[in-house]
Amino acid sequence: MIDVRVRDVSKRFRMPDHSEGRRRLFGLLPGHELFWALRNVSFEIKRGEALGIIGPNGSGKTTLIKLLSGITAPTEGEIEITGRLASLVEVGAGFQPDLTGRENIFLNGAILGMSYREIARKLASIVDFAEMGPFLDVPVKRYSSGMFVRLGFSIAAHLDADILLLDEVLAVGDVSFQARCFERIEELRQAGKTVLLISHDLAAIERICSRAILLSGGHILEEGDPRDVIEAYQASVQGLLAQAQGEAPGPVVATGLAFDAAGAGPVATGNPFRCCLSYEAKEALDDAVVRLSFNWPSGYLCTELSTEPGFRLEQGPGQLEFECPMLTMQRGLYSVDLCIERRGEILLWRPRCVMLRVGAGKVLRGDFYLEHSTRVRTPPLAASG
Ligand SMILES: Nc1ncnc2c1ncn2[C@@H]1O[C@H](COP(=O)(O)OP(=O)(O)OP(=O)(O)O)[C@@H](O)[C@H]1O
Flag whether pLDDT at 37 surpasses 60.
yes
Pocket of ligand 1 (CB under 6 A): 13, 15, 37, 55, 57-63
Range among 129-133, 176-180, 341-345 rated most confident: 341-345
Q: Which ranges in 70-218 belong to alpha helices (H)? A: 101-111, 116-130, 145-158, 175-190, 202-208
Name the average pLDDT for the chain.
Answer: 86
* Ligand 1 center to 286 CA (angstroms): 42
Beta bridge partners of 275: 259, 322
Q: Report which ligand 1 atom has the smallest distance to the Cα of 198.
A: 22
Domains along the sequence of the chain with CATH: 2-236 (3.40.50.300), 244-358 (2.70.50.60)
Among 17, 41, 59, residue to substitute to test ligand 1 (most atoms within 8 Å of Cβ): 59
Nearest residue (by CA) to ligand 1, atom 19, is 58
89: left (phi over 0), alpha (psi -120 to 50) or beta: alpha
Kind of pairing between the strands at 163-167 and 85-88: parallel
Give the up-direction half-sphere exposure of residue 265: CA atoms within 13 A in the CB hemisphere: 12
From the CA atom positions of the chain, what is the Rg in Å? 26
Which numbered atom of ligand 1 lies nearest the CA of 11?
12
3-class secondary structure, 261: coil
| 179-201 as b/e: b if 16+ CB within 10 A | ebbeebbeebbeeebbbbbbbbb
| Amino acid at the residue 313 | L
Q: pLDDT grade, residue 385 (50/70/90)?
A: low
Amino acid at 132: M
Instruction: For the chain, give the percent of residues with pLDDT over 90.
Output: 44
Work out the number of other CB atoms within 10 angstroms of the CB of residue 258.
13
Distance 60 CA to ligand 1 centre (A): 6
How far away, in angstroms, is 167 Cα from ligand 1 center? 13
Q: Return all residues near 245 (Cβ < 8 A) that are at least 6 apart.
A: none
- Whose alpha carbon is nearest atom 3 of ligand 1? 13
Distance of alpha carbon 366 from alpha carbon 361, whole angstroms = 14
- What is the distance between the alpha carbons of residues 252 and 255, in angstroms, rounded to a whole number? 10
Instruction: Kindly report the backbone phi and psi dihedral angles of residue 120, in degrees, each rounded to the nearest multiple of 5, phi listed first.
Output: -60, -35
Rounded to the nearest angstrom, the distance between the alpha carbon of 63 and the centre of ligand 1 is: 6
> Rounded to the nearest 5°, which phi and psi values hold at 48?
90, -5
Q: Which amino acid is at 273?
A: F
Atom 31 (ligand 1) nearest CA:
58
Q: From the CA of 236, how far away is ligand 1's center (Å)?
A: 20
Structure confidence at residue 244 as a pLDDT band (50, 70, 90): low
Q: Which atom of ligand 1 is nearest to the CA of 14?
A: 4
pLDDT tens string 250-295? 899 998 899 999 888 899 999 999 999 999 999 999 999 999 999 8
pTM higher than 0.90, yes or no?
no
Q: How far is the CA of 58 from the centre of ligand 1 (A)?
A: 5
**ipTM of the assembly?**
0.96
Measured distance CA(49)–CA(4) in Å, rounded: 10
Q: If we measure between CA atoms, which residue out of 46, 19, 40 comes closest to residue 30?
A: 19
Q: 20: pLDDT confidence band, cut at 50, 70 and 90?
A: low
What one-letter code names the amino acid at 251? P
CB 351 within 8 A of CB 221: no
List strand residue ranges (DSSP E) for the chain, in order. Answer: 2-16, 32-46, 50-54, 76-81, 85-88, 163-167, 194-198, 211-216, 219-224, 252-260, 273-281, 288-295, 301-306, 316-324, 332-342, 345-358
The single-letter code of the amino acid at 123 is L
Task: Tell me how far apart the alpha carbons of residues 77 and 8 are, in angstroms, rounded to a whole number.
Answer: 5
Q: To test ligand 1's pocket by mutation, which of 9, 10, 13 has the most ligand atoms within 8 angstroms of CB? A: 13
| Ligand 1 site-directed mutation target among 15, 57, 215, most atoms within 8 Å of CB | 57
Point out the ligand 1 atom lying closest to the alpha carbon of residue 215. Answer: 21
Nearest Cα neighbor of 54 from 160, 177, 212 is 212
User: Which atom from ligand 1 is nearest to the alpha carbon of 200?
Assistant: 25
Furthest-apart CA atoms within the chain: distance in Å: 110
Query: At residue 90, does pLDDT exceed 90?
Result: no
